[in-house]
Structure 1
Amino acid sequence: MVNGISTKLVERFSEKVNDSIPGRIVKNAVIKNGIDAVAENRDAIVAMNHVFSDEIETGKVSNQKQSGRCWMFAALNTFHHKMNREFQLKDFELSQNYVNFWDKFEKANYFLESVLETANEPLDGRLVSWILSTPQQDGGQWDMFVSLVKKYGVVPKQAMPETFQSSSSMRLNAILNTKLREDAVKLRNMSSKGGTEEELNKTKEEMLSDIYKILTLSLGEPPRTFNFEYRNKNNTFYRDLAITPQQFYEKYIGLDLDEYVSIINAPTQDKPYGKTYTVQYLGNVVEGNQIKYLNVDMDTMKELAIKQIQDNESVWFGCDVGKLSNKDHGIMDLDLYDYESTLGIEMSMSKAERLDYKGSVMTHAMVLTGVNLVEGKPNRWKVENSWGEKVGNKGYFVMSDKWMDEYTYQIVVNKKHLSDDLKKAWEKDPIELKPWDPMGSLAK
């Protein structure tokens, strides 16, 4: 049965809207100022104080500019927090562009390998369509970052600074994806005509050579060795000559990244708590870390985050930053906008329903650097973003605990903070999720 929209139905809706004087006033206010300006809750802004009972000393925030590299910015921020503290540095940054170069190069190879692996799958099937939808992009996941650092190390920002295309990535991404889709056509055609594995691999290497050239011209070529020179807060000068990126990581950061685990909160029926999960065809380094998550309830997730902050270590986390947040105030809070009263509607989806019905996924990664505890319970969190100092409180945001419950999906913590039961759960083989599962979303 088909039910269209009749003129009488529209007239009834119109009368309902215009019958009340408050409705007309709100309509005029929204038309002139926009929904958010009218729905903004002043009381929520006052309540979200940028002061915290427990916080980590950090410094000036970084700026990813017009790029989707938040996940690597956030991860590198956790590294330079450690370096600033241990080596008495001030506002030191590691090179995001260096990690970005190798991420895009590895993603290109990962895509081409996926094309070869699915060469016999139908072109219009869901899997191949999904693979071809985005050959590579800026976004990423914690385990993808770990794979890059293990293979390539890190360098100071001075050794490989930002470029125009690293800070404004849209055109570079468009060119890379056009080239990679052309390569996919060639590889699938070669495979269908009986090309040997040797022939296909040789062709793929030639394709990767072109990708390397594009990346080098756009981002610069990553250094194999460099000189590390700096002055600390006491104005003492240090020099370390001809050091490799891998040596630099081991000497100046030295974290055992295998000791860090991804904890998620996905309260959907298909993902029971206490089990681990991975996502098919999600990654960058072919031989790198498998994406792996341990699903827990929110109380457990927050308890783990608090333990790490109180251990003086910041926490990488992923959330849906666009929901009920404001860049100018630097606030993420469920009470920030009263859309229901403003528009006269009800909005009542649960976190699980938002995941199942495409209403929310992880879109952005940042760093938890503080928490405000009242009688041992959190009511707000300090968040270091990577959008520069002109947003929020010099780049920092305050996140209400209720907002965290609804829109935070992932944190990364050291295994030492896990209970014995969680450690045992982590060691189990992960359940495979489809590539299009909401837990396969990438932070940008």
Structure 2
Amino acid sequence: MEKKLTLEQLDAYEKSFDAGRANQVAMRAVTTNGVVKAATNGAVYRRDRHQFSISLEQGNITNQKQSGRCWMFAALNTMRFAVMKKLDLNTFELSQNYTLFYDKLEKANYFLESILETLEEPTGGRLMAHLLMAPLNDGGQWDMFCNLIEKYGVVPKDAMPETACSSATREITGYMTRKLREFACTLREGHQNGKALEELRGEKEGMMQTIYNMLCIALGKPPKTFTLGVRNKKKEFLRDEGLTGKEFFQKYIGWDLSQYVSLINAPTADKPYHRTYTVKFLGNVVEGRPVKYLNLPVEDLKAAAIAQMKDGQPVWFGCDVGQCSLREGGVMDLEAIKADELFGTQFSMDKAQRLDYGESLMTHAMVFQGVDLDEDGKPTRWRVENSWGKEAGENGYYVMSDEWFTQYTYQVVVNKKYLTAQQVEELSQEPIPLEPWDPMGSLA
């Protein structure tokens, strides 16, 4: 083939396309209906049934609306499960706006401290480009969530309800990002003009006041104390007055968050299994615990998740939700969309290659609320609680085939007690730092 694309080649391509009857059928189908509808494989609905041998009962489905808070919704959904069980409630919801407020506040401080840490970096370098790209991303990681809970606790949703800006975060995030980039410019130019680090950090205090003001205007002020008022399944009314967020967490959830750990499956050559990893410049609370993963074979992630659900507790997990996924009916299956047959080509990269070449990474967090096990105790499909409202999937729930888990699930969070003794020992290793743009640094 020549270096350039010639008109003669285009004529040959057209003749080859026109010679294939399937191409004509596919073109009519896709130009009218789009790729997904034209390639949907209805057989998966019969195979991936919403029936599971282990199925945990949860409250009303939640809805993150036009926000990127899936990691936060998923984590709060695992925690509300504990509240519902303790208080014998039909449903309950924790305030996602409360955690959003403090996450944005802490991320702003984390960003400005990162700027102060990198004052000697060139403005046009890759690190600065990464830091400035999205200083106030909606997304997050499990350890970042734990930092918020340990510092601020949680509150019921009615103690800090949603606002227009929490349900649709683009506007306020955009204006805050604009200010943070301006602040980064101010700090870096101040450094270039000879200002000392402590003087710059003093200026940062005024910057954080501006960020705090913007958050209060958009999200409202977080409550310092509140009253819990709920009616249980027996129609008894329960009241608890004067609670702080941390007191509520300790009294009604009571988890030791240090015992919950992140397991990842990243089968790339640069990340050997049975080693721990962290990601540079990934976090929210400056003084909080860093992100830490233990990389394991995918079957180990499945075993730990199953063990925790058998013990009656749901599992937070992260995946690439847009791959081979049908919103209508809620199916995640490698055979759900037959794009290979539609286009007459194979999509043949494996999981490691997809990570290395930017074809896949973790994009969404949800909750495992069940699993179907065969006679040998092997998983066949997984019950997934989403946070896109009850209209997505089947009343808000999805079903994931086990092979989809293998290919597109990257992370699960479980209590250490569901790990083997060897895995617990491996967790004690000093983590290997990954670059900020590593795919394992992606935010759910």
What is aligned with 2:70? 70
Is 1:422 matched up with 2:423?
yes
What is aligned with 1:126? 126
Q: Output the TM-score relative to the length of structure 2.
A: 0.99
Q: Name the CA distance, whole Å, in 2 between partners of 1:269 and 1:21.
A: 42
Q: Name the CA distance, whole Å, in 2 between partners of 1:242 and 1:24.
A: 69
What is aligned with 1:263? 263
Q: Shift in Å at residue 59 of structure 1?
A: 2.2
What is aligned with 1:108? 108
Q: Name the CA distance, whole Å, in 1 between partners of 2:273 and 2:63.
A: 35
Q: Shift in Å at residue 20 of structure 1?
A: 2.2
SS in 1 for 2:274: coil
What is aligned with 1:196? 196
SS in 1 for 2:57: coil
Report the number of matched residues.
Answer: 443
Q: Name the CA distance, whole Å, in 2 between partners of 1:332 and 1:246.
A: 37
What is aligned with 1:19? 19
User: Which amino acid is the alignment partner of residue 19 of structure 2?
Assistant: D
What is aligned with 2:319? 319
Structure 2 gap ranges (5+): none
Q: In 1, are the aligned partners of 2:370 and 2:382 still within 8 Å (CA)?
A: yes
Q: After superposition, what is the alpha-carbon deviation per residue over 1:344-401, rounded to whole angstroms, capped at 9, x for unaligned?
A: 1111000000000000000000000000001211110000000000111100000000
User: Which amino acid is the alignment partner of residue 161 of structure 1?
Assistant: P
User: Which amino acid is the alignment partner of residue 110 of structure 1?
Assistant: Y
Q: Shift in Å at residue 220 of structure 1?
A: 0.3
Structure 1 gap ranges (5+): none
Q: In 1, are the aligned partners of 2:66 and 2:168 still within 8 Å (CA)?
A: yes
Q: Name the CA distance, whole Å, in 2 between partners of 1:225 and 1:194.
A: 44
Q: Output the TM-score relative to the length of structure 1.
A: 0.99
Q: Shift in Å at residue 228 of structure 1?
A: 1.1
Q: Shift in Å at residue 91 of structure 1?
A: 1.6
User: Which amino acid is the alignment partner of residue 379 of structure 1?
Assistant: T
Q: After superposition, what is the alpha-carbon deviation per residue over 1:205-230, rounded to whole angstroms, capped at 9, x for unaligned?
A: 00000000000000001111111111
Q: Name the CA distance, whole Å, in 2 between partners of 1:26 and 1:238.
A: 60
SS in 1 for 2:13: helix
What is aligned with 1:406? 407
Q: Name the CA distance, whole Å, in 2 between partners of 1:41 and 1:241.
A: 53
Q: After superposition, what is the alpha-carbon deviation per residue over 1:219-263, rounded to whole angstroms, capped at 9, x for unaligned?
A: 001111111111111111111111111111100110000000000
Q: After superposition, what is the alpha-carbon deviation per residue over 1:415-441, rounded to whole angstroms, capped at 9, x for unaligned?
A: 001101101100111000000000000
Q: Name the CA distance, whole Å, in 1 between partners of 2:442 and 2:2.
A: 36
Is 1:300 matched up with 2:300?
yes
Matches within 5 A, 1:126-205: 126-205=126-205
What is aligned with 1:436? 437
Q: In 1, are the aligned partners of 2:351 and 2:407 still within 8 Å (CA)?
A: yes
What is aligned with 2:398? 397
User: Which amino acid is the alignment partner of residue 273 of structure 1?
Assistant: Y
User: Which amino acid is the alignment partner of residue 322 of structure 1?
Assistant: G
Q: Shift in Å at residue 2 of structure 1?
A: 7.4
Q: Shift in Å at residue 204 of structure 1?
A: 0.2
Q: In 1, are the aligned partners of 2:387 and 2:396 still within 8 Å (CA)?
A: yes
Q: Name the CA distance, whole Å, in 2 between partners of 1:70 and 1:46.
A: 28
Q: Name the CA distance, whole Å, in 2 between partners of 1:237 and 1:324.
A: 45
User: Which amino acid is the alignment partner of residue 295 of structure 2?
Assistant: N
Q: Name the CA distance, whole Å, in 1 between partners of 2:299 and 2:146.
A: 26
Q: In 1, are the aligned partners of 2:44 and 2:331 still within 8 Å (CA)?
A: no
Q: Name the CA distance, whole Å, in 2 between partners of 1:163 and 1:26.
A: 45
Q: Name the CA distance, whole Å, in 2 between partners of 1:77 and 1:25.
A: 45
SS in 1 for 2:426: helix
What is aligned with 1:372? 372
What is aligned with 1:381? 382
Is 1:248 matched up with 2:222?
no
Q: Name the CA distance, whole Å, in 2 between partners of 1:21 and 1:286.
A: 61
User: Which amino acid is the alignment partner of residue 112 of structure 1?
Assistant: L
Q: Name the CA distance, whole Å, in 2 between partners of 1:225 and 1:52.
A: 41
SS in 2 for 1:123: coil
Q: Name the CA distance, whole Å, in 1 between partners of 2:51 and 2:59.
A: 15
